[in-house]
Amino acid sequence: MATTVEFMADAFKQSGTPFIAGHPGGETVELMDAARQRDMRYILMKQETAGAILAATWGEITGSPGVCTSTRGPGATNMVNGIAYAWLDRAPLIALTDQYPAATLESGQRQVINHRAVYDPITKWSTTLQAKSAQQQIRRALRISTAPAPGPVQIDLPSTETTAEAREMKNAPDLRQETLHLVPDAGSLAPALNMIKAAKRPILLVGLGVLWDRASDDLVSFAETLGAPVLTTSKCKGVIPEDHPLRAGCIIGGLIERDLVNQADLIITVGLDSVELQPKAWPYSTPLLSLANTPTTDALVPATMEVIGEIGGLLTGLSGGLGGQGEWGERAAATFRSSVTDALNVSTKGLSPHRAMEIARATLPRDTIATCDAGQSRLLVVQKWQSYGPREFLTSNGLGTMGYAIPGALAARLAHPKRPVIAFAGDGGFLMAVADIQTSVKEKLPIIVMVFDDREIALIRVKQELKQIPRFGVELGGLDWVKLAEGFGADGAVAETEAQLSGALSAAVKSGNTTVIAVRIDGSCYVDQFNALREL
C-alpha cells in the first residue's frame, strides 16, 4: 500500500503535472523524494510567491493543476500573494503547506499559524491531509481546482501523515473524470437566437470562460458567422488571432472603447468574468446577452438574458441557427484599432515604450509566448503586442500583481519547451522577481526578459502627476544590467536605440540562453497615453 506522499506524487503526475515548484520545508522532503523516484522535477524557486505563480500559470496553460509547496509559518504566509493570484486570476492550483502534527499545533507557539484561516478567503477549498482519507482528499482537490471557475486549493501536510499508509478507496473514481458536453438544439436556444437575429450591430466581449472550455475555435467561427467585432480581456488575447479582421482589441475599462461598444445594438458577452473588468459601474445601457459556463451572481454586468452551458456547445448551437448577420464588424474593428494606435503614438525625444513594443513584435517569431508584468508598461504591452493563439499571452489581470512576468515565463517554457518565451517587465516588477533569473539558468528554462528601464515606478509617478503631487519615493535606476544578468549566469544587454533593441532580441533568440535586455526608454509619453486610453 502506498504512503500518502507516494499516492500524491502518482496523482499529480497522472493528472498531467510532472513537477512541483516552490520552496520546501522539513515536512516536504518525503514528497520531494517520492517525486524524484517518479522522474518528476522539483523546481526550487527563490521565494514562495514565485513558486505559486509558476505553478498556477502552468495550470492555466495546460488545464492540469499546478502544484507548489512551502514550509509552515513564514513560508505559508509568504506564499499568500501567489495563492491570491490563482484565486483572482482563476488558475487551477494545489498549494501544499507543511504543518505541525495536531498535538504540537494545539500546544506550541513558535511558527504556529492557522494556515487554513489565512487561506480560507482566497481558496476554493482548504483542508488538512489525513492518511486515512488522503486518496479522497486529493481526488477532491483535483476536481475542485479545475472546475469552473478554476482556482486554488490549499492542503496542510502534518508531519505525522506524510509517510503513513494512505488507505485505499473502494471503487475509487478515475483521477481524470471524463465529461460529456452537450450541444443544445436551436429550439432550446430560441430566445437567445431571437435577440441575436434582431440585432444589426452585435459586438462580442470575450472573457476567461472561453479559455476554461477550450472554445477559441468555436468563438472565431461564431464571430465570423455574426460578422461582429471582438473585444477580449487582456488574459484572453489570442483567443481570436490578433491579425484577424474582426479582432478589435482589449477591454481596458477606458473611454476609448466606449465609442466602439456604444455603436452596437447588442452586446454579447462570452465567458466574461467580472473579475477581469475595472471595478466601476457598468457603463452601457445596450441590451446584453450573456453566454456563460457558470451562473453570474455578482450582478456587476447586467444581462438582459443569460444562457448557461459549456461555451463551445453554446456557440456551436447558436451558430447553427444563424446565417450571415451583417458586415459592420470588420470596419468597426479596423477603426477601433486605428484609434488605439493613434492614441499611443505620442512623440518622445528618446526611444519610446510603444516603439520598443513594435520592434519586439516585428523581431520575434510569430509563435513567441509573452508574459507581462503589472505596471505602467502593461497598458502598452497589452495594446501593442499581438498574440495569435489562446494562452500565448499571460498576465495577472484579476490580481494585477507585480513580479508576475518571470515566474509566468518559466511556466510557459515548461509547457512549451521549443517555443521562444519573452517576459515584459518594468524595472520595478523585474526587481521583485530577479532572483528567479538564477532558477531559469539552473533549471535550463531559457527565457528572454525585456525590462522597460524608465528608472522609476512609472504608474505611481503618472498618478502623482495626474493628481498634481510632486514626484516622490518612486525613483529607481543606477543598475548595471549586464553585470546583474551575468551574475546569475545569464546574458545581458542594454538597448538605447531601435537598432540595438532589434539586434539584442535577435541574438537572444539565436543564443538559446536566458537573456536580460534593459531597454532605456523615454517615459515622458506615459501621462498622455494614460489619459487617452483610461478613464480618469
Decide if pLDDT at 449 tops 80.
yes
User: How confident is the model over 148-176, as a mean pLDDT?
Assistant: 84
Indicate the class that CATH gives domain 190-336.
alpha beta
Backbone torsions φ then ψ of 151, nearest 5 degrees = 180, -175
Cell of 417: 519547451
Alpha-carbon separation of residue 480 from 80, 235, 513 (angstroms): 31, 33, 19
Mean pLDDT of all residues in 104-108: 73
List where CATH 3.40.50.1220 sits in the chain: 190-336
Residue 1 pLDDT exceeds 80: no
Residue with cell 478589435: 248
What 3-state DSSP class applies to 396?
A: coil
Digit-coded pLDDT (tens) for 129-155 = 999 999 999 999 999 999 999 999 999
Q: Which CATH number fits domain 4-158: 1.25.40.10, 2.60.40.10, 2.60.120.20, 3.40.50.970?
A: 3.40.50.970
At residue 290 the predicted structure's pLDDT band, cuts being 50, 70 and 90, is: very high
Burial of 152 (0-12, 13-18, 19+ CB in 10 A): buried
**Positions of CATH 3.40.50.970 in the chain:** 4-158, 347-533
Residue 171 scores a pLDDT above 80: no
Q: What is the rounded average pLDDT of the residues 515-522?
A: 93
Do residues 526 and 355 make contact, with C-beta atoms less than 8 angstroms apart?
A: no
Strand order in the sheet with 421-426: 393-395, 369-372, 421-426, 448-453, 515-520, 491-495
C-alpha cell at 166: 494512505
Sign of CA dihedral 399, 68, 93, 100: negative
Tally of residues, the chain: 536
In this prediction, residue 455 carries a pLDDT of 74
pTM given for the model: 0.94
Class of domain 347-533: alpha beta
435 or 99, higher pLDDT:
435
Strand segments, DSSP code E, in 178-245 are 202-206, 230-232
Which H/E stretch holds residue 9? helix 4-14
Instruction: Give me the residue label for grid cell 437566437.
Output: 193
